[in-house]
Amino acid sequence: MIGSDDFGRYSGAGRSRSFNMGGMLVGIGVLFLLWQLLSPTGALPLLILGGIFTGLALLKGIRGFTVPGGILLGLAGGLIVASLLRHVSGAFGGAAVLVGLGAGFWLIPTLDRLRHPYSNAFGWARIPGTILFCIAALPALIGTLSVAGRSLGFLLQFWPIFLIVGGLWLFFSNRRRGRARWS
């Protein structure tokens, strides 16, 4: 017969149930992995809330939720980057939080354009985002000067190496010139 096989009628009920359980296990595993990786930063609750607000804004069309969604996601991203950069300089961590918050404000009109491509309803959010980017330049400059000062101090600890390298260079350059003169 056409459309039948020896195994009986196919019913997708068992298959969809295992997929749902597998999907749930993967989701729970990802959540716990993120919890372990991001709990020292404190960004996980912000990521979850920002994701919820952003998801509701995009899926249900609630435009007002793009504002807290964008700000929370940007702040969470800034905290994650700050936790990575604070070991280099604390000022870099502060700059990363400010840049993340500014990026969150810039994310608001971008998220709104995903749902409403021709709307300019949240264009105002670019102004505080740009201001936060400009303010972040000051701690970034302080962090750069701090790292440069520490690097220079580290190099100056080994000033005898510079004497040795300079002496070897002079020794071999004079030796090369001496051979050229006598050959």
In this predicted model, which residue has the larger pLDDT, 179 or 170? 170
Question: If you average pLDDT over residues 47-60, what whole number do you get?
Answer: 91
Nearest to 83 by CA among 39, 50, 121, 122: 39
Alpha-carbon distance 91 to 85, whole Å?
9
Q: Mean pLDDT in the chain?
A: 84
In this predicted model, which residue has the larger pLDDT, 5 or 121? 121
Q: pTM for the whole thing?
A: 0.65
Q: What is the pLDDT of residue 132?
A: 95
Report residue 44's pLDDT band, with 50, 70 and 90 as the boundaries. Answer: confident
| pLDDT for 143 beyond 60 | yes
Alpha-carbon distance 81 to 126, whole Å?
21
Q: What is the pLDDT of residue 8?
A: 52
Q: Provide the 8-state DSSP code for 65.
A: G
Reported as a single tens digit per residue, the pLDDT across 75-127 is: 999 998 998 888 888 889 899 999 999 999 999 998 888 888 888 889 899 99
Q: What is the largest CA-CA distance in the chain?
A: 103
| pLDDT for 6 beyond 60 | no
Nearest to 82 by CA among 42, 51, 45: 42
Alpha-carbon distance 117 to 112, whole Å?
8
Report residue 11's pLDDT band, with 50, 70 and 90 as the boundaries. Answer: low
Residue 51: strand, helix, or coil: helix
Question: If you average pLDDT over residues 48-64, what whole number do you get?
Answer: 90
C-beta separation of 155 from 149 below 8 A:
no
- What are the boundaries of each domain within the chain? 11-40, 42-170
| pLDDT for 13 beyond 60 | no
Structure tokens at 163: 């004497």
The CA-atom distances, in angstroms, between 58 and each of 24, 90, 111, 134, 173 are 22, 36, 8, 29, 69
Q: What is the pLDDT of residue 2?
A: 59
Report residue 31's pLDDT band, with 50, 70 and 90 as the boundaries. Answer: confident
